[in-house]
Amino acid sequence: MSEATFHQAVDQVQDLIEHALDGGDLDLEMEHIDGSLVLILPEGQRLVVGRQPASRELWLATPDRTLHFNFDPERGWLHDSGEGTLGEVLAAILEDISGEEVELDIDAESL
């Protein structure tokens, strides 16, 4: 994957996340900071969807850990330890933090 294609893929999935969360009932704020999408929950907790161009990875920083995702052209952004797709993992983390059900249908669209 070229660097330009990588940045385009990250931009696209960040936009999909933003639009999916805007359309949902979850109470949070979102900001774009230096190429990262920052999700700010009412409790003050932050999640950061950022890019790592050197390794061509997307990173999801949570209050507890940082998860790494690699792009698969057929399946989208996949967790490097097999925990699932970015949409599945991010939805589960948001559910754990907020206590609300979250559905992020972003993976098929992010190809």
| β-sheet bridge partners, residue 38 | 31, 48
Return the DSSP state at 84: -
Task: Report d(CA 94, CA 78) in Å as an integer.
Answer: 17
Q: pLDDT tens-digit profile of 10-31?
A: 999 999 999 888 877 788 899 9
Average pLDDT, the chain: 89
The pTM assigned to this predicted structure is 0.89
- pLDDT at residue 109 in the model: 58
Task: Identify the segments of the chain with pLDDT beneath 50.
Answer: none
Give the whole-number percent of the chain exceeding pLDDT 70.
96
